[in-house]
Amino acid sequence: MKFRVEREVLADAVTWVARGLPARPPVPVLAGLLIEANDEGTLTLSAFDYEVSAKITVAADVSESGTVLVLGRLLADISRNLPSKPVDISTDGSKVSVTCGSSRFSLMQMPADDYPTLPTSPAPSGTVAGDVFTQAVAQVSIAADRGDTLPILTGVRVEIDGEKMTLLATDRYRLAMRELTWNPEASDASHVALVPARTLSETAKALGASGTVDLALGSSAGGEGLVGFEAGQRRTTTRLLDGEYPKVTSIFPTTVETESVIKTADLVEAVKRVALVAERNTPVRLRFSEGQVAIEAGTGDDAQASEAVEAVLTGPEIEIAFNPQFLLDGLGAVGTEYSRLSFTQPSRPAVLSGQDKEDGDADTSYRYVLMPVRFAS
C-alpha cells in the first residue's frame, strides 16, 4: 500500500475516527484504525469497538492500493503534530512508514484479518439540519446521568413522531427536553431509541458543521439495536441502550403560580460569583421579589455572598434553592437573551425556558426542569 494525502485532511479524518477508540480495549486489535486505500483515489479510515463504529472517506493520491491496521490513537497524535506538508504513507514489510517533510515515523502493522467487520452503512430514516441537531443534543445531554448506578439514565431518549423529534434526558435531579422538526423519509415515521448521551454528544458536535445529518433508526439502521448517523463522507453507528426509559414527563408542572424573566447573561454571572462561597453540594438561594431576584449562598459562620439582579416578576414572591452547577447548566443551554423561570412552590420542580425579548413569549421547544434543594431557613 502506498499513498499521499494532505496533512490537514489526514489529521482531521484520523482524529474523527479515532475519537471513540477505547483507552483500554478488551482485545488489542480494537485499539486499531483500519486504513483502506483504493485505486480510485480514495482513502477510507474506520474504527469499531463493537459498540460504536466510525468511517470516513477522503481523497488521496493512491499509488498502490491495500489495507492496513495501525494503532489509532498513536496515528492521531502523529498526524496532528506533523508539519503542514503532504504526508506519504506506505507499507514496508510488517511496518507502516509515515513521512512528512523531514519527519519520519515507523509504525507496527496490526493483524487486519482479526479486525471485526463494521456494520453496513444504514439507509437513512430522515434528515435534520446539522446546526439545529447539534444545539438540541447539547441542550439535552447536559441532563443525562454520568454515573453507572442506572445505566439507562446515561442515555438520551430520541422519539420520532412524523416530522416531530423529541429529545429527553434526566439524571433524576433535572430533566431536559427539546422538540424540533426534522424531515422523515416516511410521513408516518414512528421510532423510539435510547442513545448513549456521550456518544450522541460527540457525534452531533462532529457532524453538525455539515449542512444536514442523516439519521437511521430501527430496521433502517441495520437492526433495532443500532442507530446510524451520516453527514458528508462521515458515517457512524452506535449500539442503543436496552431497557424501558422511566415516564418522566409527568414531572413537568401542570400549573404555574409565579414566573420571572431575567437577562440570561446577568443571572449566569451573578450565580457564578455567589456560588464561589458555596461548599460542595450546598445550594444557592434565589429570592424573587418585585423587580429583582436576590441570589445568596453560605450561612452562619461560613463564607457568605449575595447579589441582586433585575427581574420581572409575575405572581407571588418566592424563595427557592438550587444546585448552582445544575442551574448554570440550564442557563447555558437555553441559548436566548432572556430566561424564564416558572414556579409552583419552593418544594416543587421549577421550569426554565428561554425567550428572545423581555416582554415576549417563552420558547417552550426547550424546557429544563430543575429539582429544588431544601435549605435551612
How many Å is the Cα radius of gyration of the chain?
25
Q: Could you tell me if 111 and 205 are in contact, meaning their C-beta atoms sit under 8 angstroms apart?
A: no
User: Which cell is 38 given?
Assistant: 483504493
pLDDT per position as a tens digit, 196-253? 999 999 999 888 777 899 999 877 666 668 999 999 899 999 999 998 898 888 888 8
- DSSP summary character for residue 219: G
Q: Give the contacts of 377 (CB within 8 A, at least 6 positions apart).
A: none
Q: Give residue 260's identity as a one-letter amino acid code.
A: S
**What whole-number distance in Å separates Cα of residue 93 and Cα of residue 113?**
16
In order of their start, the domains of the chain are: 2-114 (3.10.150.10), 126-249 (3.10.150.10), 252-370 (3.10.150.10)
Q: What is the pLDDT of residues 30-89, one digit of tens each?
A: 999 999 999 999 999 999 988 899 999 999 999 999 999 999 999 999 999 999 999 999
Residue range 81-134, pLDDT digits in tens: 999 999 999 999 999 999 999 999 999 999 999 999 988 877 889 999 999 999
CA 164-140-209 angle, to 5 degrees, is 80
DSSP conformation class of 5: E
Residues 6 or more apart from 253 whose CB is under 8 A from it?
342, 344, 348, 349, 351
